[in-house]
Amino acid sequence: MKTNRTEREKMTAGEPYKQFDPELIKRRVFMRQQLQEVNQITDNDDRNQRFKELLAATGDDFFVESSFKFDYGFNIHIGDHFYGNYDMTFLDTCPITIGDHCYFGPNIGLYTPVHPITAKERNADVEMGAPITIGNSCWFGGRVTVLPGVTLGDRVVVGAGSVVTKSFGDDVVIAGDPARIIREIKQD
């Protein structure tokens, strides 16, 4: 068993890691450079192909408007038939997994980093994280924020402006700050 794990390995596993590790800084700088260029591309096919090359995995049918931002890319896994509207931000210190047939409105934020509560730990530049998992056939209204550790089931609808702080199962409409179930969805 490997005992000297890299900061990247610890980060992806959700364990405490040093966010200013040289390898992680190098990757974030590389991503900022790439994203600045890719987000300026006006041709949809070219822009989306370039985004796909920066992510760990995507389905064939993948469409994202500009401006899409993320930290690393290697922790983002998106299923087939995905549409993301303008101004998405995915902070992918831990894995972000999105199922098939998902549609995101504008200004979506998926945030996996967890910063320590105590000032002493924060001042030591230690960060942690928790993965985000989104099921199949989900729809997010505009300005939805999903916090670390959340899992959403299949066919979940998230109302505009919601802050999702906890996990929910299949076939629900959630909304609010914090998000709560406002309706169950009966599937035909």
| Active-site residue, 81 included | no
Among candidate residues 183, 164, 163, the one with its CA nearest the CA of residue 172: 183
Q: Which residues of 80-100 are buried (b: 16+ CB within 10 A; e: fewer)?
A: ebbebbebbebbbbbbbbbbb
Say which DSSP state 97 is in. E
- Amino acid sitting at position 96: I
Catalytic residue among 77, 81, 101, 115: 115
Say which DSSP state 4 is in. S
Cα 143 to Cα 129: distance, rounded to the nearest angstrom: 22
Q: What are the residue numbers of the active site?
A: 115
